[in-house]
Every structure is written in structure tokens, then in C-alpha cells.
Amino acid sequence: MSANIAEMEKRRTAARMGGGQKRTDAQHAKGKLTARERLLILLDEGSFEEVDMYVEHNCVDFGMAAQTIPGDGVVTGSGTINGRLVYIYAQDFTVFGGAVSERHAMKICKIMDAAMKVGAPVIGLNDSGGARIQEGVASLGGYTEIFQRNVLASGVVPQLSLIMGPCAGGAVYSPAMTDFIFMVKDSSYMFVTGPDVVKTVTNEIVTQEELGGAVTHSTKTSVADLALENDIEALLTARDLIDFLPANNREGVPERPTSDPYDRIEDSLDTLIPANANQPYDMHEVVRKVLDEGDFFEIQPTHAANIIVGFGRVEGRTVGVVANQPMVLAGVLDINASKKAARFVRFCDAFEIPILTFVDVPGFLPGTAQEYGGIIKHGAKLLFAYAEATVPKITVITRKAYGGAYCVMSSKHLRGDLNYSWPTGEIAVMGAKGAVEIIFRQDIGDPDKIAERTREYEDAFANPFVAASKGFIDEVIHPRNTRRRIALGLRKLRNKSLENPWKKHDNIPL
């Protein structure tokens, strides 16, 4: 028996060494942790249970039969984050550059299948050179098996991808289909074709970082949700995110104790809105003062910053937040903001996370760039997402809610459950100046008449009471009581039941 145990420990030690000390040192020299070091940081101490430690590839071509390393370049298993179960895989760049073989993919598929069976999140730590060329189409088949599981798991269990090294070619499509992507600055990149191919085909000269680095994808392309400074920050941030998310689409949101009173009064909100309607203010202040302890986990903060999305808690229970940001482009909705918010709303709806919407929106961004870019269909994505959502939806209009953008931002007409407005709310087809110039176009040559008509329009319509008189606003509330109103609303809506008509799936305007 002791000999058998000794053999087992010998094999375990060999598997844990991965590609050996020399390759581990090379990984450290690049400022990167190894796969197993990453798991030690991400998971609760002592919670990781590995599976398939001894799996080896089955390739015999190109001399591969003589090159076998236990684990085959990926560490898989399960563990806990703050006591909650997650399934995880971590690609090991020290073994064949983390390249995906048939068996490597099989290991990933096995833990994804297990996560689906028990209803637990899946976290992938990506650090791979791509498909293992020596295996040819078998490697591609393995990739596609992973893609299939990404699709089946979508909306069933949360999926989080951490890009902690190269992720190129077909490998990018697995993270692209997960719910959230974190990237590490200066050491991770994602692209379908690399700089050399780009130069050959288009004659463009571009670096890996410029083409597919963390900053590029978290600001320009929206492929990544966050760009973190290093491996450790990325892993700790992943722990924070998982804390907000339900384990699956049936379990309900996680709840944690809080000492923040549900009826906390925030007097500063009464004076937050500037007297000048064209003067901006930071919507983050509203969001943080409403949520428990001011804790807000923002998603894609550097992309389409004219809209804010992220997670917080009210009375210890997770909520999703969508808010226009007057500090950026006056909070206008454009193509990127619509896509960003629509995807977030659909995630919240899939996982039964209530949605809080804070509205200060002057409309959709005009211009040929937006129209040619398809603002009609992209704006419709956000409209569609809110309209199909059946989770509790509470909306607070803080200032402007003009035109089609009013309709889109979780209005009462899109089955909003509770729609509140501050006294500073302005709910109208458009701003006073634009409306007067259309209605009274015959007076445009008379500045005094136009000024008088503008004042009349503002007095009549630049307020929330016309909409409230029609039942489109449930109540005009004191800004300082916003948190209490939202907390009580969420309590009432906790057992909300609403179903859409049966369908195989919808046809959102992609």
C-alpha cells in the first residue's frame, strides 16, 4: 500500500510541476503567475479539488508520442469563493504553451458539464497559444465542443473569462460567448488574426497591444469588461464579481448582512441637480448613495461612459444598475451606450437580478456617423432588452427624459414596475427650445416672442407632473428618500411573477 501511495504522490508532483521549473521561471519573468498560483489566489484556501490531473494527449504525429506531460496544459476542477461553489479551468502556458488539444478540450468540457448539472458558475483562466497544430482538426473539434457548451450554459450559469496571456485565432470565441471578460494590461491580448497577418493582408503595422490589448478591448471594442493592472488584481476582482452573482438562473440573488439602514436619508441628493439644466453632475454620486455602503461594481467603466452599468446591493441583495451619465456627452444614448446597456439588462433578466434605472437622458445622439452606424437597430437593442425583461424594474428620473430615449429607459410603458421622478424631472418629447422652434416656427424671427414661448413651454412641460397626471410616473419623490423608496419597492416586488408568451426564442435586432 505504501508503495502505491508513493507512486501516486510521485505522479501528482510531476503533474504539479507542469512544464518544469525553467518554464515556470520564464512565466514569472513576464510578470505572470502559473496556472496553479492563480488558483491559489482566486479560490478560498484549501478549497480547490482537481480533476483529470493525469490526463495526457493522444497525439502520435510529429514526435508528440514522446512528449507527454500529465494534465496536458490545463488545470481543471472546482473550489469555493467566499464559501460558494465555482467550477474552474486554468490553462497552463508552461505546458505546450497552453495549446488546446483534444484531451485538453475534453477536460474543460467535463467541468462545464458538471457546472451545468449542479448549477454553479464557470470561470476560465485563459493563457494559451491557440490550437495545438500537431493535432490538426482534432484540436479544432475540441475547441468547438467548448463553444457548444458556452452556448448551452449561457443564461443558465454565470460564465467569467480572465484573459491572462495570449488568446488568438479561434480561441477568442469561447471568452466572447461568456458573460464577462477581464483582461490583464501588458500581458494579455485577444485577436482573430495577429499583427503579422494584418500587415500581410492590409499593409497595416500594428503592435499586439494596439491590436488586441486590454486597454484596446476595454475602451474601443467593448470585448473586455475590465482591464486590470496584473494577475493578482484580476483574480481578486473576479472574486468580488462572483460575490454579486447568483449561482444559476433558478437560485435567486445572493444575500449578505448589511448594517446600512434601508431608510437612510441622503439630504445631499436634494441639492445635487444644478439650477442650470445644461450643467452636468456625476450620476455615480446618486448610484453610490442609494446602494448599500456605497459599494458599486461597475462594468465597462471606460467604454461608452455616457451610460453606467454595474452591480450593487440594496438591503444586502444584489441589484443591477443602469444609469445615464450627464458628465459624458450629456448622458445621451448612442450606439455604444445602447449595446453596452442592452447586454447588461439581458444578463440581469436571465439571472433574476432586479434592475434599477436612473434616467437623465436628452435623447439619442444625432449625426451621420450614428445613423450610418445603425443607431436605429442598436438603439432598438436596449428597447428590446428592457421590454422583454420580467425581473423587478424600478426607474428614477432625476432630470431629463426626452423623446424616444424616455421610452427606452425602462419607462412605465415597457412594464416598469415602479417609476419615480424627482421634482427636477423633465419628461417631454424634446427640450423647450427645440419644441418651441417647431410649434411656433412663425415666431422664429422675434427673439422676445420665442423667449416668452420657451418660458411658457418650460412652465407647462419641463416637470414630472404632466406624466404623473397620466399615470406614467407613480410618484414624484424627495431625492433624499430615493434609497427608502427603492428598498421598499424591491421588498414588494420580491415575489413578482410575469411571463412572456411562449416562444422558441426571440429575434432581438442583433
Q: How far apart are CA 102 and CA 74, in angstroms?
A: 12
Query: For 273, which DSSP code?
Result: S
Strands of 307-437 (E only): list them: 307-314, 317-324, 355-361, 393-402, 418-421, 426-428
What is the largest distance, in Å, between two alpha-carbon atoms of the chain? 101
Q: Is 487 helix (H, G, I), strand (E, B) or coil?
A: helix
Beta strand 84-91 pairing with 122-126: parallel
Which residues are catalytic, by number?
169-170, 404-405
Query: Is residue 326 within 8 Å of residue 286, measured between CB atoms?
Result: no
> How many angstroms separate the CA atoms of 154 and 347, rounded?
9
Distances (CA, A) of 493 to 310, 489, 490: 20, 6, 5
Half-sphere exposure of 220 (CA within 13 A, CB side): 9
CA 500/CA 137 separation, integer angstroms: 42
Rg, Å, the chain Cα set: 26
- Residue 313 and residue 248: Cα distance in Å, rounded? 18
Distance CA(165)–CA(129), nearest Å, equals 8
Find the helix packing angle between 35-42 and 231-244, rounded to 10°: 40
Strand (E) positions, 58-201? 74-81, 84-91, 122-126, 159-163, 166-168, 180-184, 189-191
CA distance 100 to 135: 9
In whole angstroms, what is the distance from residue 181 CA to residue 185 CA? 13
Q: Taking a C-beta distance cutoff of 8 angstroms, is the pair 352, 391 a contact?
A: yes
The type of residue at 297 is F
Nearest to 225 by CA among 240, 246, 247: 240
What are the b/e assignments for 383-393, b being 16+ CB within 10 Å? bbbbbebebbb
Using alpha carbons, select from 307, 315, 319, 412 the residue that is nearest to residue 360.
Answer: 307
**Cell numbers for 300:** 465597462
Residue with cell 490531473: 53
d(CA 136, CA 475): 64
Q: Which of 13, 10, 85 is nearest to 49 (CA)?
A: 85
Q: Give the Cα-Cα-Cα angle 178, 183, 186 (nearest 5 degrees).
A: 155
